[in-house]
Structure 1
Amino acid sequence: MIMSSTQKHNSTAIYSTAEIREIERLAAALPSPPLLMEKAGLAAAEVARDKLLTHGRTRVLVLAGPGNNGGDAFAVARHLRSWRYEVTLVFTGQRATLSDDAKQMLDAWLVSGGEILLDIPENTAWDALIDGLFGIGLDPRSGRDLTDQYLALIDTVNSMKLPVLALDVPSGLGSDTGKVRGAAIKAAMTVTFIGLKAGLLTHHGPDYSGEIFLRELDLDVPSLHEPSSWTIDQAYVQKIMPLPRPADSHKGMFGSIGIIGGSAGMIGAVLLAGTAALKLGAGRIYLGLIAGNALGVDTAQPELMLRPINELFKLDNLNCLIAGPGLGTGPDACFWLSCALESELPLVLDADALNLLASHSRIANLLQDRKASSILTPHPAEAARLLSSDISMVQGDRMSAAADLAERFNCCVVLKGAGSICAMPGGKRYINTSGNPGLSSAGTGDILSGMTGAFLTQGLSPENSLLLSVYLHGAAADILQTLHGGPVGMTASEIPDAARNLLNQWIYNF
């Protein structure tokens, strides 16, 4: 969950480390420049007081690092001490190497009567901990690695089992990437300054950040730097949902989808995609089965119209295509995927369609040359194949990987995973805030492609179809996690019903 101190600005904007540095530079050049470090320290101290130091907790261990994050920590410690909390401060840097602002915060701490320790004292107990070691100063792309000293310190902190408030970004976590540099402090909550950071929201970030509190420090952030990345949340998707249906609706008003897949032994995948499209509002769903035994398939959804694959392409009432669920990678799959790419219909590509794109340059060229819109839905391994890379490189910078795919193939892209990233051809990127590990089960990707096709065929733009389906897919999984008491054993076939219920609630305010 992300909590903002203000709704005046777009609090869902995400900024890179470089952009935050530029905003700080521009803020310092204002006619009356704000004292950002002092404001950050006070804002974090208020979060600590109101959210962390509850239920009688009064003893606080504050860790101040060698950079500006340490300056924030000095300010937090001073405010907490002035409010009569018992504060122990450990400083891991040297005063001579601090910035002028951080030196000012250190001196103010000392003037207030605070003391500085160089190591965590033994045989002392605390109720909570403030992490001010690195913040955004240790982003992986900065080239800085954790030394053995800090690896040991972070392991010590995590072993203490204290509730932790991290300042800006949990130490050891890349602010742009969510990648852990050997070790990272596991926070119960993070107060982040000026703007959200991608590393808090994707890859390992959700496991380390806890509840996120955004404090913009009284800056009009978008006026200083226009964002190009945002989060996807319920407030956002409720602006882009389909309109309520008129009383005289009929199925022809809500489009027809053709789904290409269902090779031998994989017909279940295309049935999942079709069921999801049906339950998220598409008017007609035709399943084109490569296996060729359409009449012999037993489906619990008789509304799905099964066709041999060659008959699917003879239909003249289709509004979009989905290719990939259970498609296979044989010659027939290549032929029918090429037919889909040569069509003038909007197209959702998933699963084996992505593997064929990665292994056949002719098919990739067809995608790149398409005039109609296309949407790619890779998981990290599929993205690595498409980028001629490897999974570690993709996961090491998920934001860049998603953007590279969108640019390379001129498509809307969702890079699935923790904090799924949607990237658009024009450069806009979004990080999803819904979902849980229950989605790491067979068939959930087929459900997502069916949902995306359903919104496309109902007239939503490719961008909005992708954003709505990704968020709703995760939100449905969150509902199921609550119902099941956890994510273990969640199945793909449960998601369409939960997603349908949520969508109706949002549209009709039930």
Structure 2
Amino acid sequence: MQRLSCTSAWPVHGREGIQTLEAQLQACSPIPLMAKAGLATAQLALAVAPHAQRIWVAAGPGNNGGDGLEAAMHLHQWGKEVKVSLLGQAQNLPADAHAAWQRAKAAGVQITSQRPAGWLEDMGPLDLCIDALLGMGASRPLSPEMQAWVQALNRCPAQVLAIDLPTGLNPESGQLLGDASDTALLVQADHTLSFIAVKPGLFMGHGRDACGDIWLDRLGFQEGANAPSPLAWLNDRKPRPGKTHASHKGSHGDVAVIGGEPMAAHGMGMAGAAVLAATAALRAGAGRVILSLLSGQATDNAPPDLMQRNWRQLDLAQLHVVCGCGGGQDVQAVIPEVLQRSAQLVLDADGLNAVAQDERLQHLLQQRASGHPTVITPHPLEAARLLKISTTQVQKDRLKAAQDLMSLFRCTVVLKGSGTVIAAPGQTPRINTSGNGRLATGGTGDVLAGLIGARMAQGLSAFDAACSAVAQHGQVANDWPENQALTASDLAQHLA
């Protein structure tokens, strides 16, 4: 068993993949998987709550409930005071879960069909609740009764250990089950124990907040030749390009940032977005960085290390271009030439919106696949515009949305959000696990675009540059002091 960190590189499987892995493991093991899962849960329960005086197991009507019953039996035998609340009738449990119920009953575990209300009120922060209500097969909205149990788990001051995933979480997307929008209908766990493999929903959407520490027990599974291919990999921290003693500024690439609509255009100047992207590229170690504001004028608000030049004077064929940051509507005049001439390109923000509105620009973006590395960095709304679907559809299957964009434009895609997805032709997608809510502020996406541009300029492929930059971008937020706000300019200044 191991706790997964934001630097863990691990395969991610969907529901069908895990079911295949389960069948392969059960075929070569004389011990039922439920027995193994229950023992693993009990062992983790002791590890995370060694001083618990009371342990409440909320067991659901399926195999997840069976895992909880198995865990309760072990914890009872080890001397813990355990109570199990079974949602549903024992005779209706699946065969393996019913056998677990019989074993727990025979061992003397207290099993009722009601929540132990008074007992729960006496539980403290050293005690433990085990969420064994729903597992990876969950797809429907929670029933009113199960909603009440979820709320009881969340109100209890004890720690919560979720088996498989927190109840109320869609294991595939990280969104709430069904069409729910009330996060009160989602168990907020301190720990989540996944078996055999990890599921994408643990690392995306609400999963990032609800799962707490994520643990993985493979239950003895060993990868074999017949194992299904993973849907994705967790994005581990990539090494950053270094600078040798014999290098010079020309050795580390030239980045040009084109964007920043002027104030006169629509009454809201956005030069700061382009300055942030350029500052990020500079701080990340690009050899030379050129800031090209769409006004054609220089700004006094940029670091003196940046060169400033009118974009029409740039030799785009020799540059790693970052375009779109704060571009507004003025960027539409620039995009055709940028798409046709840039040696390498990071297309962000209003650059993506311009492409979404113009079929000719979409065709030009597709043509870059023939030899001009390109990264697009949409947030969910921009992705929805490009795919001509709703934001809800994007969020319901972020992996698919990222891969659809990759297939459409034949380039590297960074679908930003909780659990950023990186997809590229010929690569298994990555799900990023670094970062937190501090990044939910204006300008942090511009910083990411500039950072990706710098990594490409330093010689990384488009895919590796995106994976490296996204991991580092999130890690700065992870390392930021909890009592300090993180602004985009702070973020840019703390890159290296």
Normalised to the residue count of structure 1, the TM-score between the two structures is 0.89
- Cα displacement (A) at 1:105: 1.3
- Residues 177 and 396 of structure 1 are in contact (CA less than 8 Å); yes or no, is this contact kept in structure 2? yes
Query: Is the Cα contact below 8 Å between 1:228 and 1:427 reproduced in 2?
Result: no
Matched, 1:62 2:50: no
CA contact (8 A) 1:285 1:305 kept: yes
Per the alignment, residue 273 of structure 1 pairs with 277
On the 8 A contact 2:317/2:342 being kept in 1, the answer is no
**Alpha-carbon spacing, 1:48–1:101, altered in 2? closer, same or farther (3 Å):** same
Match of 2:438 in 1: 438
The SS at the match of 2:99 is helix
Superposed displacement of residue 192, structure 1 = 0.8
Residue 251 (1) aligns with residue 253 (2):
no
Matched residues in 2 for 1:437 and 1:334: separation?
A: 31
Deviation of 1:97 after TM superposition, in Å, equals 3.2
Please show how residues 57-136 of structure 1 align to structure 2 within 5 Å.
57-124=52-119, 125-126=122-123, 127-136=127-136
Note if contact 1:14-1:195 (Cα within 8 Å) is conserved in structure 2. Answer: yes
Residue-by-residue CA offset, 1:215-261 (whole Å, 9 max, x unaligned)? 11110146533324111233xx13xx32x322121101111112211
Partner of 1:27: 25
* Contact 1:194 1:221 survives alignment (8 Å): no
SS at match of 1:206: helix
Question: CA contact under 8 A between 2:316 and 2:338: conserved in structure 1?
Answer: no
How far is 1:310 from its partner? 0.8
- Distance in 2 separating the partners of 1:361 and 1:426: 25
Amino acid at match of 2:158: L
Aligned AA (2:421): I
1:355 and 1:273 map into 2 onto residues whose CA distance is: 18
* Deviation, structure 1 residue 281: 0.9
Partner Cα distance (2:374, 2:79) in 1: 59
- Indicate which of 216, 221, 225 corresponds to 1:219: 221
**Is the Cα contact below 8 Å between 1:475 and 1:499 reproduced in 2?**
no
1:135 alignment partner, SS class: coil
- Superimposed CA distance per residue, residues 165-188 of structure 1 (whole angstroms, 9 cap, x where no aligned partner): 000101110111111134111111
Deviation of residue 207 (structure 1)?
Answer: 1.3
> Is 1:23–1:221's contact at 8 Å kept on the other side of the alignment?
no
Cα 1:33–1:307 change in 2 (3 A) is farther
Residue 92 of structure 1 contacts residue 118 of structure 1 at CA under 8 Å; is this kept in 2? yes
Match of 2:200 in 1: 198
**Distance (Å, rounded) in 2 between the aligned partners of 1:411 and 1:159:** 46
Secondary structure, aligned partner of 1:25:
helix
Give the corresponding residue for 1:506: none
Q: Among 35, 38, 51, which residue is 1:38 paired with?
A: 35
Name which of 218, 233, 237 aligns with 1:230. Answer: 233
Partner Cα distance (2:74, 2:105) in 1: 12
| Matched-pair contact (CA < 8 Å) for 2:174–2:203 | yes
Counterparts of 1:122 and 1:246, CA distance in 2: 65
SS at match of 1:369: helix
Does the 8 Å CA contact 2:9/2:236 hold for their aligned counterparts?
no
Matched, 1:355 2:353: yes
- In structure 1, what is the Cα distance between the partners aligned to 2:71 and 2:397? 31
Alpha-carbon offset, residue 29 of structure 1: 2.7
Query: Residue 435 of structure 1 contacts residue 478 of structure 1 at CA under 8 Å; is this kept in 2?
Result: yes
Give the corresponding residue for 1:161.
Answer: 157
Paired residue for 2:289, among 281, 285, 291?
285
Query: By how many angstroms is 1:34 displaced?
Result: 4.5
Q: Which amino acid aligns with 2:40?
A: A
- 1:413-492 maps to which residues of 2 (within 5 A)? 413-426=413-426, 428-480=428-480, 482=481, 485-486=483-484, 489-492=485-488
Question: 1:325 matched to which residue of 2?
Answer: 325
Deviation at 1:151, TM superposition (A): 1.4
Runs of 5+ in structure 2 lacking a partner?
A: 263-268
**Cα drift, residue 162 of structure 1:** 2.4
The residue number in structure 1 matching 2:266 is: none
Q: Look up the match of 1:299.
A: 301
1:466-496 deviation per Cα after TM superposition (whole angstroms, max 9, x unaligned) = 000001011112222x2x525xx31111113
Which segment drifts farther, 401-410 or 85-94?
401-410
Query: 1:288–1:311: 8 Å Cα contact kept in structure 2?
Result: no
Partner of 2:265: none
Whole-Å separation in 2 of the counterparts to 1:215 and 1:233? 19
Partner of 2:337: 339
Report if aligned partners of 1:377, 1:415 keep a CA contact under 8 Å in 2.
yes
Quote the sequence identity (%): 39
CA pair 4-450 structure 1, distance change in 2 beyond 3 A:
closer
Matches within 5 A, 1:132-147: 132-138=132-138, 140=139, 144-147=140-143
Q: What secondary structure, in the 3-state scheme, does the structure 1 residue paired with 2:110 have?
A: coil
What is the alpha-carbon distance in structure 1 between the residues aligned to residue 176 and residue 115 of structure 2?
23
SS of residue in 2 equivalent to 1:123: helix
1:404 and 2:414 matched? no
Structure 1 residue 111: Cα displacement: 1.6
Which of 261-270 and 208-217 deviates more?
261-270
CA–CA distance in structure 1, aligned partners of residues 283 and 26 of structure 2: 53
* 2:383 alignment partner in structure 1: 383
Aligned residues of 1:4 and 1:215 also touching (Cα < 8 A): no
| Partner residue in 2 for 1:49 | 46
* Gap regions ≥5 residues in structure 1: 501-510
Q: Is the 8 A contact 1:479 1:498 kept in 2?
A: no
Deviation at 1:392, TM superposition (A): 1.8
> Once the 2 structures are TM-superposed, how far is the Cα of residue 356 of structure 1 from its aligned partner?
0.7
What residue identity is the alignment partner of 2:15? T
Give the RMSD, CA atoms, in angstroms: 1.9
Which range moves more in the overlay, 263-272 or 164-173? 263-272
Post-superposition shift, 1:33? 4.7
Tell me: CA distance 1:104–1:258, structure 2 relative to 1, closer, same or farther (3 Å). Answer: same
